[in-house]
Each structure stands twice: as C-alpha cells, then as structure tokens.
Chain A
C-alpha cells in the first residue's frame, strides 16, 4: 500500500471542546501510517450557516474544497457534520454546471476556482475503505475481554444517502464491525439510528437534551458499558451533556462515551495517556481495565 496522505479538515467544534477526538485520531492515524497535512487557511465548513443563507454555506464549503484541491489531496474530516456538507457540496458542484458557475462566481472574488479534483472522506470511511477491515485487524494487539458497547452512528455520515452512499442508512453495520475488531461486543438497543439532538440545542435546549436522554435510557436498559461515537456533536450530546441530562431529568447514567479512535487505539496497544481518555467528562476507567494484558 502506498503512503496515504490526506488534507486534514478539523472543523470548529473539535478545537472548541472535543480535543480528545483529535488527539486520539491523530495518534491512531500515525500508527496506521496515514499522513495528515494541515489545511492552514481553512474556514468553517459552512453547515451552521445554511439556515441563514444557503449561498454563504456553499461559498464557505467550496472555499475549503478549493484549498484541498490546491494541496492536491483528498480531504479527511473527523466531524460527520463537516464531512456530510463537504461531500454533498463537492458532489453537487461536480454534477451541476449551473450551480458550479454560480459558486465559482463568488470564489472568483477571492481568487479561487472550484475544479472538482478531490474527494471528501470521514476518518472512519478512510479506515473502512482505504485501510480496510482486514488490514486494520492486523494492527490489533490487545482485545477487550468483556466489554459491551452501544454504537451510535449519527446522521451525517449516512444521510442523505444519495450523496453519502456509504451504507443503507436504515440498517448500517460498519461501526459494529469496527467495534468488534477490538474484541468488544456490540449490543442492540431501541432507536439505534436516532439523531443525537444536538443541532437544536441553541433553539430549544430542553428538546435537545430530551432526545439524548431517550437514547441514554435505551442504552442503559441493555446494560452497555460504553457508547462509541464518530462525530464531535454526537459526543457532546452524550458525554459533555450527560451530567446536565442527569440533573435536568433526575436520572443517573454514568455511561462513558468514547470516540471510536480511542477504542481502536487502546486495542492497538497505544498507551491510554496518548489517547486523551482523561478529556472525557464521564470516567472511562472500566474500559481500560477490560483490556486483555498481552
């Protein structure tokens, strides 16, 4: 396999409050021989602004795509929101000439042009498609003996299906497979594919917490030891907001929420200190103790 290089699109939420995701993903990427080049002039992917002004969203996303085109690299993102919108805009601009001309009209003002030369991938998609399950298994050094994990897919890695084209969004399996590579067992639970609710937190906090609470409830019912997410927004909904949910609804969960690269990294034998587990709000000691000593 030739060296894998990508333009790393970090987005806004990860540096703002989910640095553990970045630390663990970079560490795992290093171990797997994936090289991440920084996008030094990148801006927000645009997704938060679609509701305000669609044209600005398109311009922002297209500007990021142009930066990666100049680098001659495909984009990798850790955030499902960023990868969703960049994938969608990239495909739309490639397919729709009138749209491309309109957006290039904006970009011309800042000396850029969308040419349609690159692809966008979520980090997890790189693991599945560019590394592959089998090769990934070769990196596993320790297995979890008895760990029950509830996987949370989130929305934007799968939907809208006509742009994301990863798997059937009604019945996804990739995260289950990725988790089971580490020896952990996955558990079925009610409404597994349901949205985390975080996008409406700024409009109606209670509603947002309610959606996350419903899922925590279902996950608790099946006795999962941990939740695994692949998006910083979903992670905030279940980890950072878990204490608040417990308080608002007078409940108690105490379920640790790991970013997938943290789970994978542990099974790859990477020192837990290098995977930023200490940045999780809900303590995850039970997970490390579950690792088989090799």
Chain B
C-alpha cells in the first residue's frame, strides 16, 4: 500500500496484525453507491481490465473490495491507492456480478475525506469552485484570448448558490481537510 495522500506521520506499515472493524462493510453498504459491495465473488475481471492495474502492482480493485468486506478500515482509508482509479468504468461495464466498483471506490474516498484524508489537488479544485464556479481559475490571458477569438463571454456563476450548496452538503468543510467528527 502506498502512503497516505495528505497526513504526515501516518502510521507506518508494520508486521503486527491489522485491526479489523466488522462494521465497516455495513457502513459502506448503506451509503449511496456502496450497495453492491457484497455481490463481489473475487473473479478478478475488474483487475484484468483495469488500465492502472496494468502498470502498477499496488492497485487491485478486487483486493480493495475484499479488504472492505473484511473490515480493514484503518488500512484502507488513509491509502493513496484509493485515489488511483481513472474512472474509466471498464470494470463496471464488465463485472459479471454488477458490482459498481467505481461507486464503491467513491464511497471509500468520500469516507476518507470525512476523516481528513484529502489529496491536495482536491483542496485546490474545491476552493476554485467556491471562488469562481469553475474547477479551474481561468486566467486574464485566457479571457483576453477569448475576446480576440470572438468567443462568447464565459458563464458567470451565481456564487451564492454554489456556497449554499457547499454548506448544505458539507462540502465546504470537507475540502479544508479537517476532521469533522472530532
């Protein structure tokens, strides 16, 4: 497993047995997108078609599913491995058990973020959308370039709407990467 994306001094891997949390699978199962977790029968179709699994040994979608079923919460959530999915949906389309692999991974990432494990890139994109309505900040140069190319003016998002949505979904505090429950 790779190291966690944002927290320093994360627990190093040791030879001691991993603590398991038998309730972890139920936590995942009840979240939107986690419902298909139990259907996996470890055929490995997801991993065999995965573009990332092809170039690194550290990423095995079927292994992630098994680890969640076993309750390996504390190993799973801080792991960078969760974030390597390219969301190509090949596994989802090919799974004979209709496991929504990408959605299960997203549930795990959402849980990881709740615990404060959020890669820096998402903090940046997150502050961009709150400040501009766009995931990227469009530079003055680009705006001038658009004028020169006679392209329409870019959308001007009502930022109060975005801030309100961020508040009620809890997004605004999540992107700060602070632990919420403690």
Q: Is A166 an interface residue (CB 8 A)?
A: no
**B contact patch SS:** helix
Which chain A positions have C-beta within 8 A of B86? 155, 195, 197-200, 211
B155 touches A42 (CB 8 A): yes
Q: Do the beta carbons of A207 and B142 come within 8 Å of each other?
A: no
The answer to whether B165 and A56 touch across the interface, beta carbons within 8 angstroms, is: yes
CB of A293 within 8 A of chain B?
no
**A59 beta carbon closer than 8 Å to chain B:** yes
Minimum CB distance partner of A276 in chain B: B149
Q: Let me know if B52 and A43 touch, CB within 8 A.
A: no
Query: In the complex, what residue of chain A is closest to B171 when comparing beta carbons?
Result: A56
Query: In the complex, what residues of B have CB within 8 A of residue A49's CB?
Result: 122, 125-126, 129, 135, 171
A59 touches which of B122, B134, B169, B174 (Cβ 8 Å): B169
* A172 CB to nearest chain B CB (Å): 12
CB distance from A230 to the nearest CB of B (A): 15
B interface with A by C-beta (< 8 Å):
5, 32-33, 51-52, 55-56, 80, 83-90, 92-93, 102, 106-107, 109-110, 113, 118-119, 121-122, 125-126, 129, 133-136, 138, 142, 145-146, 149, 151-158, 160-162, 164-166, 168-171, 174-175
Query: Can you give 28 A-B contacts (C-beta < 8 A)?
Result: A15-B134, A19-B142, A19-B149, A19-B151, A41-B158, A42-B133, A43-B134, A43-B155, A43-B157, A43-B162, A44-B133, A51-B106, A51-B122, A52-B109, A52-B126, A53-B170, A54-B107, A59-B169, A110-B165, A155-B86, A160-B89, A170-B93, A200-B52, A200-B85, A202-B122, A203-B83, A204-B80, A211-B86
Which of A38, A43, A276 has the largest count of B CB atoms less than 10 A from its CB? A43
